[in-house]
Amino acid sequence: MHSWISFSRFVSVAADLVARSIYHRLEWPYARQILSNRRLRLSPVESWQDPYERWWLDRVEKIWPAGAMPGAYGMCWTRSYLDEPAWRAVGFNKTHPIVRIKCSIPALASALAAVEDHSILFFLANVRYRPESKLSQLAEGFHRPSRVRVASLLAHKRNAFQSEKEVRLLALTLDKAASELFIPIEPHELIAQVMISPHASEEQVQEIKTTLSPYGIPCVRSLVLSPKTR
């Protein structure tokens, strides 16, 4: 299981998360909302559509008395930054261009530490990938549940997904009342760079750069498809 280092009283970072920067790919309109609204959005883990996420969450919930598991909200980041297939995977069947937000671990942890609701516990961890049989054993081994233990369990996935190199941001609350959870941010303090998909058109690239200009955030287009980078 994960060992945690306290960044603040309410923010814990996994001891093995040594990456200097992490990345989040998403469609440009949603990235633009992050900028204009000055907040990150965490969605309820139980709302995630992936059937394997649902399979694992069902097992994590079983370590709690019926209906007693705390609210769990998450946002998926990654350590992956060079691979072109990631652009295609995120952009599959999407209408809008994909962008990649880059931030440092300390910058994100600082934004979490500034959240005023101190009933929320935040966790930032590398996802660990295990065989399905090992995952089931992990869940069955817990008999005294806590939010720290839930965070450790939710930062696990099946081996089939290890190419994602996922870093998971989790927020554990005392209830499940909210349909989403927002983290206030200052975009220029949190976001170190925005990178535009190599598959975006020149017109889309210019529109994104123009929108980002007032924020003072560096913006570049991915050169992964450039002959010079092959």
What is the residue-level pLDDT of the chain in tens, covering all 230 positions? 789 999 999 999 999 997 789 999 999 999 999 999 999 999 999 888 888 888 888 888 888 877 778 899 999 999 988 778 888 889 888 999 999 999 999 999 999 999 999 999 999 999 999 998 888 888 776 667 788 988 999 999 999 999 899 999 999 998 777 789 999 999 999 999 999 999 999 999 999 999 999 999 999 999 887 765 44
Q: Are 13 and 125 in contact (CB under 8 A)?
A: yes
Task: Tell me what pLDDT residue 50 has.
Answer: 85
Rounded to 5 degrees, what angle do the CA atoms 52, 58, 59 make?
A: 95
- CA–CA gap between residue 152 and residue 48 (Å, rounded): 18
Q: Could you say which DSSP state residue 173 is in?
A: -
Question: Residue 228: what pLDDT?
Answer: 59
Give me the pLDDT at residue 227, please: 63
Query: Which residues neighbour 123 within 8 Å (Cβ) at sequence distance 6 or greater?
Result: 4, 11, 12, 13, 14, 148, 151, 155, 168, 169, 170, 171, 172
pLDDT confidence of residue 127: 95
Determine the pLDDT at residue 63.
81
pLDDT at position 176 is 75
- Residue 113 near residue 7, CB atoms below 8 Å: yes
pLDDT of residue 142: 66
Query: Residue 118 is encoded by which pair of tokens?
Result: 């101190």
Q: What are phi and psi of 142, to 5 degrees?
A: -100, 125
Beta bridge partners of 126: 167
* Reported pTM: 0.91
User: Are 60 and 153 a contacting pair, CB within 8 Å?
Assistant: yes
pLDDT for 230 equals 43
